Chains A and B, each alone.
Chain A
Amino acid sequence: MRQQQRPPRLARRTLLKAAGTVAASSGLLGGVRIRRRGRLSGQALAAELPPAARGYRPAVMQAVILTVNGTEYTVEVDTRDTLANLLRERLHLTGTHVTCDRGECGACTVVVDGRAVYSCSVLAVQVQGREVLTIEGLAAADGLDPIQQAFIDCDGFQCGYCTAGQIMSIKACLMREPDPTEAEIRNAVAGNICRCGAYPGIIAAGLQAAKAQRQGR
């Protein structure tokens, strides 16, 4: 294992090159520890070729050690797996949803080392040694986090499919700013699309949760 100064070329597929992807995950990429394997760069190259020119290469598996919701896991992942794949398919934490799979909608947002991150746009191998918080780990088993309670009270969702992402974005916002303005809440969820249009409830929930959290509830 060796320390990388710059992120290696880790294209899962060319889709990952979207501008939004870079913006969303840049905080995580810097200085991340990667266990490099010989095949990886070849695979990255293959992903950049048009599909017809792509030759099949067998999967490269790699062990990743990370902490999710306070528990340390060692997970064998396909090097093409995203953090979202790891959470949903390996750890069966399906509360994190994938909607666009290219860093544009925010449904898959989780908190990694205190920052909101699009888990569809971070490779599983990039979270080696990181601490991940998902919707399932937000509250103790018998209760609700103030943000979750506020989402229910304010009707901050309809279908609920984007809700984990909305809540985790607000969580990250409140972690760095316990007394946010309405505009700060709006900005915190600006990268989280809700097609049901529950935005008024989401904003109200963010403000209510901030207040409840400050009052220690």
Chain B
Amino acid sequence: MPFVKTRVEIEGHVSEVIVEVPENEVEPWGKDAQLRIVGQRIPRIEGVARVTGKAVYTADVQLPGMLWCKVVRSPYPHAEIVEIDTTEAEKIPGVLAILHHGNTEPISVSGFGPVFNPVLRYVGAEVAAVAAVSEHVARDAVAAIRVTYRTLPFVLDPQKALEPDAPQVHPDGKVLGGGPRIIERGDVAQGERESDVIVERTFRLPAVHHCCMEPHGCVAVWERDDSLTMYDSTQSVVNVQTGLAGAFGLPRSKVRVLREYMGGGFGSKTGLEKYHVITALLARETRQPVKLTLERWEEIVTTGHRPYTVQTIRAGCRRDGTLTFLDLKAWVSAGAEGGRFALNSGIPVREMYLCPNVRTEEYAVYTNHMTNTAMRGPGNKEGMAPLEAVMDLLAHEIGMDPIEFRKKNDTPWGDQVAKIPYSSKGLSQAYDLGAKEIGWAGKRRKVAGSDPGPIKRGVGVGSLIWGAGGGPPSAANVIINTDGSVILQSSFNDIGEGAMTAMAMVCAEELNVPLSLIQVRAGDTGLGVFDVGTYGSRLTPSLTPAIRNAAADARRQVLQAVSELMDVEVNDLYMEEGVVRSRTDPSFAQPLPNVARQFTHAVVGRGFRGPNPSDYRVTAFGAQFAEVEVDTRTGQVKVLKLVAAHDCGRAINPFLVEGQIHGGLALGRGYAMSEERVIDPNTGVVVTCNYTDYKLPTAIDMPEQVPIIVPQIDEFSNNTNTKGMAEPPGIPTAAAIVNAIYNATGVVVTELPLTAERVLRALRTAGK
């Protein structure tokens, strides 16, 4: 069993993982492979459960004797708890337990601090929790708990928080990591000297929320042997299992985390959070199952967000269109605990274009609101809009078509310093396909804002780069039972994107059996076959290769058994649509169920994901186009059409890939046009904590959308030729819309979301 080190890039974080090299790794399919199932537009195999209301989500779990948990939360952005009086609450019939920092062992959750911290650093911070016989009684108890607070000065703006006399948010200092993260190559000053044109803009991009339709929630059950079972709405049952085991000092084998169906995550449900520990503590205290489902305001205020950023970007180029330098300074309002994804805004500037002189300086500043969390393309989406806007400004200055300008600065290198190439790059094709669909040549205003009259139209483009190669650990078993049924087993997480269908398709393809034969068992650590989680666009490029390996292993074992049972040469045997056939004897046809019946035990094919290619970077690319109409009298913007062309390697199921694109566009349209967390500066209270004030795109807001999959596979990424596709489609949408407004009006609006008020103010400031 040879083990090697491999590089795994997940959401901008690169790590070295030690991984076994599979002995029987199947050959990549390659571009000429004739596939029966993979690549087809197949509706979801679990569709019936989801459209009939039979699918059981975590929020639907009801167990005998189950109690309800509700949480008392801080009304102040910065305060100390002086006293908690639970006397009245305890008198309420049906209240079984009340926990707070004064009566609970100190447990910390990585990235979020102590579960019950007597120092509260954001509105919504956990103060106490109640378990009661019904939701109503739990609410009554929460209302009856008296808490005395000593309020402290607070700060919400990341730039103000850096001032010397600003309130101290976090004991570690003002900035996550002690200071800015500066990454540079070449010499920006030299680049400036070589520039014919230099532009600079400062952007303000809003904090936005995940708003999963199924709120965060779980049901905790302690068994008599002190093992813990938790039903949880999570993107990674494995991460929550690991986290709970650590929090309660249990071996992982004593913690089982499972879930049948899951109602969305978008990055907010990737691992252990405080609510898991609180629910488990209450279940242990009461020895009864306890359920927690966050209310919508709690969901918005306390489960993280894409952070508010202020970004000043400077860029220069020569008259011939060669980029000379890029310089980004970003201030990120990281929240009370900093978070893991506050330092990603610089990725587009460092990686999108070939540029010798690049500097990024990023400050993740502690502020008195909830800590940011990963949200579908964390950091990258924030960084892309400013970069793409100044690219258009530069192109305009030198009189070059924005797409031509981008192509001129295209990079062949996955790592510009080490000169390691991309495994595949369909960016140029994405520009061409998207431009054709939006009608770029005809619709782009050669002179921005040149439409006569007050209502002006324009088109814009936004580009995308995002590490999407996935990697280990990821494993699967393919079990062929003695009744001929096939079970695909892996603790992976279908959070709504359609992984169950895609994985079953890969399994059926490799085994060469009908898709209907495959039963998928997933989302349960009890299966014992681990995939680390559905995030970072990692699942498809991580797990599909493992499934191919497992299915090939199972097929080999079946053919070997048939060879021995029926005394035929194993090399003559092959599987076709669930029937074992012989190359030398056309009359030989043994259906799998007939064969399996003769086995004395189930065949278990085992597969796992091997190392990533060492001589390539696996990265997703794409380009999106927007057409807008701007009423320059009111500032109102209508998005008329969105086109999204994406290079994701081989599309296992184009139907599902298009779904991901639609989803990304909806998130991107929301980020650009309507979504914004607003905090009252006087009280620190989040005022946009419901769907009336926090505006999500609806069916009547979304324009015509055209998803395009760049028809090209990735020959080097992995054995299924895939790249991740989940996060990329949300990344360039806002950039495309900002640039379309620029094309329509001649003004780059630098503050998102692009409300009529902001657009009008920008137009008036520019004298338009």
Asked whether A158 and B498 contact (CB < 8 A) given A97-B59, A148-B51, A152-B44, the answer is: yes
Is B691 located at the chain interface by the 8 A CB criterion?
A: yes
Are A135 and B53 in contact, with the CB atoms below 8 A? yes
* Interface size range on A against B: 35 or more
Nearest opposing residue in chain B for A93, CB measure: B53
Q: Per-residue CB proximity of B25-51 to A under 8 Å, as 1/0?
A: 000000000000000000110011111
- Complex Cα spacing A89 to B656, Å: 33
| A25-33, A172-180, A183-191: which lies at the interface | A183-191
Q: Which of B62, B215, B262, B266 contacts A92 (CB 8 A)?
A: B62
Are A193 and B213 in contact, with the CB atoms below 8 A? yes
Q: Per-residue CB proximity of A68-90 to B under 8 Å, as 1/0?
A: 00000000001011000100110
Q: How many residues of B contact A (CB 8 A)?
A: 67
Are B93 and A58 in contact, with the CB atoms below 8 A? yes
Are A159 and B263 in contact, with the CB atoms below 8 A? yes
In residues 186-220 of chain B, which contact A (Cβ within 8 Å)?
210-215
Are B662 and A107 in contact, with the CB atoms below 8 A? no
Is B180 located at the chain interface by the 8 A CB criterion?
A: no
Query: Given the complex, which residues of A lie within 8 Å of B496, measured CB to CB?
Result: 158-161, 196
Q: Per-residue CB proximity of B645-667 to A under 8 Å, as 1/0?
A: 00000000001101100111111
- Complex Cα spacing A101 to B723, Å: 38
Is A121 located at the chain interface by the 8 A CB criterion?
A: no
B395 to chain A, nearest CB (A): 30
Are B50 and A163 in contact, with the CB atoms below 8 A? yes
- Complex Cα spacing A54 to B62, Å: 29
Are A196 and B691 in contact, with the CB atoms below 8 A? no
Query: Given the complex, which residues of A lie within 8 Å of B137, measured CB to CB?
Result: 59
Are A18 and B659 in contact, with the CB atoms below 8 A? no
A204 to chain B, nearest CB (A): 11
Are B264 and A196 in contact, with the CB atoms below 8 A? yes
Is A125 located at the chain interface by the 8 A CB criterion?
A: no
Asked whether A197 and B51 contact (CB < 8 A) given A51-B143, A162-B213, the answer is: no
Are A99 and B215 in contact, with the CB atoms below 8 A? yes
- Complex Cα spacing A20 to B51, Å: 26
Q: Which of B264, B296, B498, B667 contacts A161 (CB 8 A)?
A: B264
Are B52 and A144 in contact, with the CB atoms below 8 A? yes
Are A97 and B663 in contact, with the CB atoms below 8 A? no
Asked whether A152 and B47 contact (CB < 8 A) given A20-B692, A104-B692, the answer is: yes
Nearest opposing residue in chain B for A135, CB measure: B53
Are A201 and B659 in contact, with the CB atoms below 8 A? yes
Nearest opposing residue in chain A for B137, CB measure: A59
- Complex Cα spacing A70 to B266, Å: 38
Is B600 located at the chain interface by the 8 A CB criterion?
A: no
| B97-105, B442-450, B698-706: which lies at the interface | B698-706
Q: Which of B44, B262, B696 contacts A195 (CB 8 A)?
A: B696
Are B663 and A196 in contact, with the CB atoms below 8 A? yes
Nearest opposing residue in chain B for A151, CB measure: B51
In residues 115-143 of chain B, which contact A (Cβ within 8 Å)?
134-137, 139-140, 142-143
- Complex Cα spacing A157 to B57, Å: 15
Is A136 located at the chain interface by the 8 A CB criterion?
A: yes
Query: Given the complex, which residues of A lie within 8 Å of B666, measured CB to CB?
Result: 194-197, 199
Is B88 located at the chain interface by the 8 A CB criterion?
A: yes
Are A95 and B52 in contact, with the CB atoms below 8 A? yes
- Complex Cα spacing A190 to B702, Å: 11
Is A200 located at the chain interface by the 8 A CB criterion?
A: yes
The residue in A99, A134, A148 that gathers the most chain B C-beta atoms within 10 A of its C-beta is A99
Q: Which of A92, A107, A144, A189 contacts B213 (CB 8 A)?
A: A107
Query: Given the complex, which residues of A lie within 8 Å of B696, measured CB to CB?
Result: 193, 195
Is B760 located at the chain interface by the 8 A CB criterion?
A: no
Is A102 located at the chain interface by the 8 A CB criterion?
A: yes
Are A152 and B48 in contact, with the CB atoms below 8 A? yes
Query: Given the complex, which residues of A lie within 8 Å of B50, measured CB to CB?
Result: 157, 160, 163
Query: Given the complex, which residues of A lie within 8 Å of B92, measured CB to CB?
Result: 56
Q: Which of A144, A159, A186, A198 contacts B48 (CB 8 A)?
A: A144
A65 to chain B, nearest CB (A): 22
A6 to chain B, nearest CB (A): 25
A70 to chain B, nearest CB (A): 15
Query: Given the complex, which residues of A lie within 8 Å of B312, measured CB to CB?
Result: none
Q: What 4 pairs across the A-B complex have the smallest Cβ distances?
A: A95-B53, A159-B496, A197-B666, A161-B263
**Would you list 24 pairs from A and B whose C-beta atoms are within 8 A, ordered by A residue?**
A51-B142, A58-B93, A59-B134, A59-B136, A94-B53, A94-B62, A99-B213, A99-B296, A101-B296, A102-B690, A139-B52, A144-B48, A155-B44, A155-B658, A157-B50, A157-B51, A161-B263, A186-B700, A197-B662, A197-B663, A197-B697, A198-B659, A198-B663, A200-B702
- Knowing that A97-B263, A189-B699, A193-B213 are A-B contacts, what are 17 other residue pairs whose CB atoms are under 8 Å apart, sorted by A's residue number? A56-B144, A78-B134, A81-B136, A99-B296, A105-B213, A139-B52, A144-B48, A151-B47, A155-B656, A158-B497, A159-B262, A160-B51, A160-B263, A161-B212, A192-B698, A194-B699, A200-B702
